[in-house]
Amino acid sequence: MTDIAAIPPAASGFAAQLRHSRYVIAENPVTGLAFGLFVLILVAALIGPWIVPYDPLASDTAVTLQPPNLHHWFGTDQLGRDIFSRVVVATRLDFTIAVASVALVFLMGGLAGVAAGYYGGWTDRIVSRIADTIMAFPLFVLAMGIVAALGNSVQNIVLATAIINFPLYARIARAEANVRREAGFVEAARLSGNSEWRILTYQILPNVFPILVVQMSLTMGYAILNAAGLSFIGLGVRPPTPEWGIMVAEGAANIISGEWWVALFPGLALMIAVFCFNLLGDGLRDMVDPRRRT
């Protein structure tokens, strides 16, 4: 009727989403900073190998362990490789590991959790017990165990990270699905002829997705740390592949002898990446939750 005036004009669609995103970034400068950093990391991951000054694998024994200077911005390591190039190229690997683990755990944990929360019964019991079993272990030790058992490779790191994050995602997804199971719109969907499977996929999942997306951003930081940690103790990526964790491990001994730059710069890169993803998670929540749009 004539009560259109009470509500502001249509605020849906992509244009409005963009506008809201700009608003969120403007309101909280930290989110803007995180977003900027994310773009930087993404760019480094995408085109890093082509823009770096030196070949990350090329060793030059003439310039080993040089402190940061004009030729080598981050200095060189014990094999004469340019640390700056290695740090930038490592971005791609670490970023890929993070994204892959998070995507995998979202699929595994998210779907299992939603099914458990929606159907209840034995599905719930099985999924919950699996999650409980995983949580019984100190998670990093479990990751170590999985990689040690299956072998050192990037795929196994991704798998291990996904497994140890499974309980968190399953739990969140299960809780959200459980709450919505008897919601009015689910009953309405049944009246409209939707089978239980359709309700799960088209009604419940879209509501659970935003919450998991926020979690994904936070997990990415953890996934990078996990990969770096595994590589640090030798259970992850193998040298000479540039990866932040290995680089910190390789540079750790050098700190004592005063060559602080070998470990510091990769460590700094790690820190900034994790920092960025965590802050992004907060901003993402504001952008993605439809209830906060208007």
Which of the stretches 11-19, 76-84, 113-121, 215-223 binds other proteins when contact is defined by CB under 8 A? 11-19
Q: How many CB atoms within 10 Å of residue 261? A: 22
161-180 residues near other proteins, rule: CB under 8 A:
none
Nearer to other proteins, 194 or 241 (CB): 194
Query: Does residue 132 touch other proteins according to CB under 8 A?
Result: no
CA atoms within 13 A on the CB side of 290: 8
Sole binder of other proteins in the list 10, 62, 70, 149 (CB under 8 A): 10
Which of the stretches 82-90, 154-162, 200-208, 223-231 binds other proteins when contact is defined by CB under 8 A? 200-208
Q: Which residues contact 54 (CB under 8 A, 6 or more apart)?
A: 72, 81, 82, 84, 85
Contact by Cβ (8 Å): 169, 214 = no
CA distances from 169 to 74, 102, 103, 113, 181 (A): 38, 10, 11, 7, 18
Nearer to other proteins, 21 or 241 (CB): 21
State the minimum distance, in angstroms, from the CB of residue 127 to other proteins: 19
Tokens of 65: 């362990």
Sole binder of other proteins in the list 207, 241, 254, 278 (CB under 8 A): 207
Nearer to other proteins, 70 or 182 (CB): 182
The structure tokens 């710069």 sit at 265
Which parts of this chain interact with other proteins (CB under 8 A)? 1-8, 10-13, 183-185, 187-196, 198, 203, 206-207, 290-291, 293-294
